[in-house]
Structure 1
Amino acid sequence: MQKIRHESVAPTRTQRLESGGEIDAHRHDDHQIVYAGRGTIAVTTDAGSWIAPATRALWIPAGTVHQHQAHGELDLHLVGLPTTENPLGLDEPAVLTISPLLRELIVAYTHAPDNDSPPHLRLRAVMLDQLALSPEQPLHLPVPTDPLLRELHGILRADAADNRSLDDLGRQIGASARTLSRRLRGDLGLAYPQWRTQIRLHHALILLADGIPVTTVAHRCGWSSASTFIDVFRRTFGHTPGTRPVT
């Protein structure tokens, strides 16, 4: 059984992680904001995985068992918050949009975490105000509880470019497309195309962080063309793949 570390206080700090580096499963009694100023960070819990490029941050509620993995070299910024401070009122992990201003506030705050001077405390107050304005993004890849869906999930995660229909996939695992669609809506609240797109976008973010060219990423993730992939990516993230957002 995997040992889970318990840290009573969620750290506030800046650290580097090499591509493929991990922070093992742990929990803390505080909330935590996880932001990667460079690279892409993935956080995994029992309920699924969340992934965030440089325009997003992750909210980890107090008590949540989670682990981190770096895709691409990571500049990781961690902000611990006591349970009395929850700017968005979230009790589950979430991906948040990070504005250019909020990015700079988080970076500045985590570079001097033990500074209790009045200017630093004002910086913290503005950071919390900006967090309260950060919209939640649908970048959660939930883990199904249904055994059939777990089997389907494994197939799609193993090969994001698998373009077989739900009928064809259903025949492989012994279930009709109608049954799988019904269970998907009941278990995850998603239609099959929505779920498949989420899986593909998660995989695409990882490949992009590892420096894979956009055209190759589109092919490996099952899009019919690079232009189709770029359009879906832009509508989801607000910028094109391979283009670092202006901060």
Structure 2
Amino acid sequence: MTETSLVELTVTSSRLLPAGAEIPAHRHRGNQIVYASHGVLAVDTDAGSWVAPASSAIWVPAGVLHGHRAYGVTAFHTVALERRANPLRLAEPTVLEVSPLLREVLIAYTASDSDRRRARLRPVLMDELRPSPQPALWLPTPRDSRLAAVCGLLAGNPADQRSLATLARAAGVGQRTLTRLFAEEFGMSFPQWRTQLRLHLALRLLAEGQSVTATGHRCGWSSTSAFVDVFHRHMGYTPGGRAPR
């Protein structure tokens, strides 16, 4: 990522972002929780990209370079925390599970301009923080140039159905080498990574108003039912519904 601005102080705020709005790469001295109570928010870092529907928030540790992008009209909430306020001891960006209680606390906390009200809400907010069990919300960035070449072939067209062997030949690298790199760098297999790539695109397209059928087709699933099944298995809700709130 290219740093375009430096924000030394994290800000607690709540605002509406238009579809496609971007916040350039920056970093904070303190920790930050970012949450979209409506729409889908992407957080990009050098380590990868996270997407967060309304069932999830993202923890951004102090000092981490990151940028944001809104998919669909997005209600954007940010919580500013001191560097020492890190109850989960998180050193890297992490998806947080947003329970119904945490959702309401996040909205109330970021909408309030009363220090006294925030002081009453903060213990509940901190006590409700939990890592999300949805690893598909993170898409890691490849470091090895050979792995990056193959990932780049699919990033522009996640519906590409070519096998790893075919992609390896196109990138001029051995299939066994790629298999090893996916495991070493991402901790997952090529099919698992491709599914996450497609889910990331699906979340963005659905937030922008695309139909379930059109989204599944564009992302490369063989049928709408196959798309619905995979989406539900990874996200915990159907693509035609809404993220749990």
Tell whether the structures are fold-level matches, with TM greater than 0.5.
yes
1:116 maps to 2:152: no
1:189 maps to 2:187: yes
Alignment correspondent of 1:91: 91
Alignment correspondent of 2:46: 46
Letter aligned with residue 170 of structure 1: A
**Mapping of residues 144-163 of structure 1, within 5 Å:** 144-163=142-161
Alignment correspondent of 1:236: 234
Deviations 1:3-55 (A, max 9, x none): 53222221000011111100111111000000001110001111111111111
Distance 1:202 1:105 in 2: 27
Distance 1:219 1:116 in 2: 48
**Mapping of residues 118-133 of structure 1, within 5 Å:** 119-131=117-129, 133=130
- Are 1:109 and 1:123, in contact at CA under 8 Å, matched by a contact in 2? yes
Residue 242 of structure 1, CA deviation: 2.5
Moved more, 180-189 or 200-209: 180-189
**Mapping of residues 58-69 of structure 1, within 5 Å:** 58-69=58-69
Alignment correspondent of 2:176: 178
One of 115, 134, 142 as aligned partner of 1:137: 134
- Count residues in correspondence: 244
Identity percentage of aligned residues: 50
Q: Could you tell me the TM-score, scaled by structure 1's length?
A: 0.94
Q: Could you tell me the TM-score, scaled by structure 2's length?
A: 0.95
- Are 2:38 and 2:74, in contact at CA under 8 Å, matched by a contact in 1? yes
Deviations 1:130-152 (A, max 9, x none): 11x34353121111111111111
Distance 2:238 2:65 in 1: 33
Letter aligned with residue 228 of structure 1: A
Residue 169 of structure 1, CA deviation: 0.9
Distance 1:26 1:166 in 2: 35
Residue 116 of structure 1, CA deviation: 2.2
- Are 2:53 and 2:243, in contact at CA under 8 Å, matched by a contact in 1? no
CA root-mean-square deviation: 1.5
SS at match of 1:36: strand
- Are 2:29 and 2:63, in contact at CA under 8 Å, matched by a contact in 1? yes
Distance 1:107 1:183 in 2: 41
- Are 1:96 and 1:137, in contact at CA under 8 Å, matched by a contact in 2? no
Alignment correspondent of 2:214: 216
Deviations 1:53-72 (A, max 9, x none): 11111110000010000000
Distance 2:207 2:108 in 1: 24
Distance 1:43 1:51 in 2: 6
The runs of 5 or more residues in structure 1 that have no matched partner are none
- Are 1:98 and 1:134, in contact at CA under 8 Å, matched by a contact in 2? no
Distance 1:237 1:44 in 2: 20
Residue 236 of structure 1, CA deviation: 1.4
Distance 2:141 2:119 in 1: 39
